[in-house]
Amino acid sequence: MRAATPSNVCVSRSRSSQLLATSNATWSLSESVSGAASRSANAIWQYLSKYTGHFQATVPFDSKVARRRGIRAEASALMPETPLPELRHTAAHVLAYAVQDLFPGAKPTIGPAIENGFYYDFDRATPFTPEDLERLEARMREIVSADYEMTGREVSRADAIATFRDNPYKVEIAEQIPEGEPITLYTIGQFTDLCRGGHAKRTGEIGALKLQSVAGAYWHGDEHNAMLQRIYGTAWHTQRELDEYLLQLEEAQRRDHRKLGTELDLFSIEEDAGGGLVFWHPKGAIVREIVEAFIREGLRERGYLPVITPHVVSERLYEISGHLENYAQNMFGPLEVENQRFRLKPMNCPGHILIYKSHLRSYRDLPLRYSEFGTVYRFERSGVLHGLTRVRGFTQDDAHLFCMPDQLQREFEQTVEEALRLLRAFRFDDFACYLSTREPLARGATDDVAETAIRNALERANLPFVVDQGGGAFYGPKLDINVRDAIGRIWQLGTVQVDFMLPERFDLTYRGSDGRDHRPVMIHRALAGSMERFFGILVEHFGGAFPVWLAPVQAVVVPIAEQQLSYARETLAQLHGAGFRAEIDESNEKLGYKIRHWKTQKVPYILVCGKQEVEDGTLNVNERGVEEKRSLSVASFIEELRSTVSSRA
C-alpha cells in the first residue's frame, strides 16, 4: 500500500463519473501490485499531485473499472466526497422519503439544495409541528443508516406523468420539461422522485443532518398559488462540520444587531410608533454621526455639493418622475392638505433634479454632483421588516451626478475610489462587485457607453467583478457592492446606477459648447446604502465592539474607591478636553463589578484609578482584547488614544 502524495486533495465523484479534486482533505489510495493497475493508479495521482492545492481539478475515474483493475481506495476515497450541494440534494430526497413514510397524504413538490442546506416543499393541509420534525429527523437517520443506493433511470414523458398521476405538482414539472431533455426518476429504497439528478451515490454518505424549521412557501414563489409547507434542513459530510455550522449560527445570533442594539443601548424600534421606524439612541446616534462625518469628508474632497430636500412634497412631482405610476404601492400617503395631495419622499432623485432644473446649465457646470443624507420613506409590507436592515424610513448617503456621456468613465472611477475608501475604513476586506446589465430588449445606444465605463473603472481599480446579465435596473445598468461580514454573511451595501430615463422624463438639458441643448446622463449612487442598514451591518461585523474611532464610549474612568473620585474626575475632564468620548463610573460597586459591566458594554479602554495611580499620576489601562494591563501617565494615554483614533485602527 502506498499513500498518495498530494495530501491536501480530496476526491469526490461528480455526475459525469469523474474524480473531482478539491482542496482541504486527505486523499489516499492503495493498490494491488498488478502492473496494469499500478499504472492506472499512478496516472491518477500523478495527475492529482499536479493539481495539489488547486481547486477543482478533474480526472477521469470510474470506480467499477478501478475495482476491476485492482485499484482500491482507502475509506476516505472509497466513499468519495460528494460536493455539498449534491449531498444536500440527496438529503432532500431522504426527507421526502421520510415524509412519505410518516405522512403519506403529503404530496412532495420540489426539494433543492440551498446555500447552507436544503428544503423540500410539500402540499399538506396541516403544517408540520416541531414534534413532526423530530420524528422525520429520526426516520431520516434510519434511511441514511440503511445506506440505500441512489439509482436513476430515464423514462418517457408519458411514463413520468403516469407514475405521478396523483401528484399534480410532479405532473406539472414533467409536462414542462423541455422537449429533448431527459426525464429521469431517482429511487432510494421505497421512494422514487422525479428529479434531474445530481446526487450522492448512496444515502450513507450523509454524515450529519438536521431539520431546522418549517415555513409556508408558495408554489413557484407566487402568492396567488397554493401555499405549501416547506421544511428546511442542513446536511454535511461529518458531524464535526455540522457542529461547526451550528456554532457559526450561534455566533451570528450573538452578533445579531437587534440583540446588541438593546444590550448596548444603540437604537430601538417602538411598538407605539410603528414597525420599521428607527429610534436612534445616543450611543447609536454618535456612531452614525461619525460615519456621516467620514462620508462627508470624502464627498467634499471629491467635489460634491451638499443639498437638502423636503421630506413631503406634492404628488405632482412623482407624476412627472413616473414613481406614482410604477412605485405607488411603496409610497406613503397621499396626505390631503388644502386640496393638494402630498407624498412622503420615497427617493431623493426627483428633488435633486428640481435643483438641477432651477437654472440653465452649461457644459462647463458639469459634472454636477449633489449629495444629501436623504431620508426616505417606503411602505414595505409588514412581513418583510427586519431590524435595521429592512425598514420603512431610512437615510441614504445619496448623491446624483449629472454629467455628459464622455464624463461617465471618470465619474465611475471616482465613485469606485470612494467606495474603496469606505470599505477599507470600516474593515470590510471581503467584498464583491456586481455589474448588472440591461435586458437586451431594453438596451439603448447609451448602455454600451455606461457598461464600458463601469467595466473600465473596475478594471482600473483592479477589482474583480461578476456580470449579471439582464439584472440591471429598468432605466440603466448598475454596479452593486456586496460585503462579507466577520462571520461570512453577505450583505448588499452600495449601488451605483446609470440613468438615461429620468433626464428624459424631466427634460433635463445643458447648453453645449455648440450652443445647442443636450441631454445629461445621471448617476444615482449610495455607497453605504442606507445609514440604518450600514449601521446594522457594522454592529454585526464588529460584534458590537466598535474600533476606537467609532466607539460611542472610547474610555471609561473607573475609580476604585471614593478616595480616587477627584483624581478620576480630573482625568475625565482631561479626556473630554482632548476631544474624546469618555465616561466615569462613580457607582458604589466593587472594581470587579465595574470591570465586568464595562467589558460587557465593549468599551475599548477601562482606566482604573486606585491609590497607586493617584500617587504616581498614572492610569491602569485595561484595553479591550488585551490580557495585559499597562500603567501609563494620563498624558501618554491621551497621546496613544489620539494616534489610534487618527489612524482609525
Partner RNA sequence: GCCGUCGUAGCUCAGUGGUAGAGCAUUUCCUUGGUAAGGAAAAGGCCACGGGUUCAAUCCCCGUCGACGGCUCCA
The residues that touch RNA, with contacts defined as CB under 7 A, are 127, 129, 213-218, 221, 223, 227, 229-230, 258, 262, 269, 271, 274-276, 378, 380-387, 389-392, 394, 396, 492-495, 526, 529-530, 532-533, 560-563, 587-593, 595-597, 599-600, 606, 608, 610-613, 620, 622, 629
> Taking the complex as a whole, how short is the minimal distance between the CB of residue 611 and RNA, in angstroms?
4
Choosing from 132, 193, 397, 398, which is the catalytic residue?
398
Shorter beta-carbon distance to RNA: residue 590 or 642: 590
Choosing from 100, 229, 396, 601, which is the catalytic residue?
396
> Taking the complex as a whole, how short is the minimal distance between the CB of residue 152 and RNA, in angstroms?
27
524 is catalytic: yes
Shorter beta-carbon distance to RNA: residue 201 or 386: 386
- In 219-257, which ranges are E strands? 227-236
> Taking the complex as a whole, how short is the minimal distance between the CB of residue 237 and RNA, in angstroms?
23
378 is catalytic: yes
Shorter beta-carbon distance to RNA: residue 71 or 260: 260
CA 380, CA 15: separation in Å to the nearest integer? 43
349 is catalytic: yes
CA 576, CA 581: separation in Å to the nearest integer? 7
> Taking the complex as a whole, how short is the minimal distance between the CB of residue 586 and RNA, in angstroms?
9
Q: What is the largest CA-CA distance in the chain?
A: 96
Residues 6+ apart with CB under 8 A from 310: 345, 351
* Residues 9 and 23 sit within 8 Å (Cβ to Cβ): yes
248 is catalytic: no
CA 471, CA 436: separation in Å to the nearest integer? 5
Choosing from 121, 199, 345, 349, which is the catalytic residue?
349
Residue with cell 442598514: 533
Q: Which conformational region is residue 617 in: left (phi greater than 0), alpha (psi within -120 to 50 degrees), or beta?
A: left
478 is catalytic: yes
β-strands 555-559, 605-609 pairing: parallel
196 is catalytic: no
Residues 6+ apart with CB under 8 A from 207: 236, 237, 238, 239, 241, 242
Taking Cα atoms as reference points, which of 419, 430, 489 lies closest to residue 454?
419
N-term to C-term CA, the chain: 54
> Taking the complex as a whole, how short is the minimal distance between the CB of residue 318 and RNA, in angstroms?
16
Choosing from 107, 400, 541, 602, which is the catalytic residue?
400
* Residues 526 and 519 sit within 8 Å (Cβ to Cβ): no
* Residues 71 and 41 sit within 8 Å (Cβ to Cβ): yes
Shorter beta-carbon distance to RNA: residue 362 or 382: 382
CA 52, CA 26: separation in Å to the nearest integer? 11
Shorter beta-carbon distance to RNA: residue 119 or 236: 119
> Taking the complex as a whole, how short is the minimal distance between the CB of residue 615 and RNA, in angstroms?
8
One-character DSSP codes across 277-298: -EEE-HHHHHHHHHHHHHHHHH
Choosing from 237, 283, 524, 594, which is the catalytic residue?
524
Choosing from 107, 237, 378, 581, which is the catalytic residue?
378
Shorter beta-carbon distance to RNA: residue 46 or 600: 600
Choosing from 69, 89, 478, 533, which is the catalytic residue?
478
| Sign, CA torsion 105/109/112/118 | negative
> Taking the complex as a whole, how short is the minimal distance between the CB of residue 60 and RNA, in angstroms?
38
Shorter beta-carbon distance to RNA: residue 576 or 599: 599
Active centre residues (catalytic)? 349, 378, 396, 398, 400, 478, 524
